[in-house]
Amino acid sequence: MSTFFFNYLFWIAYGVSNLAAVLLMIACYKRPVVARLGFAVLFGWASWFNVSTVLETPWVYTDFADYALLGYRWFILGPFQKLVAPVVLAIALGQLMIAASMPLMGRFFKLGCLGGLLFSAAILPLGLGSAFPAMVFIAVGFYRLYQHPADRLLWKRSSGRSTRQLNLTLHN
């Protein structure tokens, strides 16, 4: 793949990531239910993507060293390089737990918000590799949701339907 083509795709993905992060942050203020659904989908997809990628091509994760701050670069090219699969699988599990917490309420929802906030802060030093400043917007969104926790599940049971069927209408 040519360098130009790679750079072109990188900057498109970078722009889309930042746009999505800004929209999610705004949704956390204006439409928190939509933001919760967005975070559930985003982190569920990220978990699947990381598991799939680390099982097929674990070495690609060391490429993040090219974009990372010095301390993270040392970690990626040192200890992390020897343990890529277990570390990325643990990260993917955390992402899955964040995704699973977003439709919930109460303690589990707040723990998911804290997890999302910590995850966002933890990957900030990856710089462009984490689509900086996208993770700042994501962290602000999680903080907003944490400060104004969900008072209902993402879905509600619809009257007249079997209790096994869920009506996935988004409500505020």
Query: pLDDT truncated to tens, each residue of the chain (172 aa)?
Result: 456 556 888 899 999 999 999 999 999 999 999 999 999 999 999 999 999 999 999 999 999 999 999 999 999 999 999 999 999 999 999 999 999 999 999 999 999 999 999 999 999 999 999 999 999 999 999 999 999 988 888 886 555 554 454 445 555 5
> What is the pLDDT at residue 57?
96
Distance linking the first and last C-alpha atoms of the chain: 46
> What per-residue confidence (pLDDT) applies to 1?
47
Residues near 108 by Cβ (< 8 Å), separated by ≥ 6?
A: 101
Helix-helix angle 134-147:32-56, to 10 degrees: 130
Whether a cis peptide bond, with omega within 30° of 0, leads into 133 is yes
**Cα-to-chain-centroid distance, residue 152:** 22
The pLDDT > 90 percentage for the chain reads: 78
Handedness of CA 172, 154, 147, 145 (dihedral sign): negative
Q: Which of 71, 46, 47 is nearest to 127 (CA)?
A: 71
Match 């799939």 to its residue by tokens. 52
Q: pTM to 2 decimals? A: 0.85
Q: Which residues contact 18 (CB under 8 A, 6 or more apart)?
A: 131, 133, 134, 137
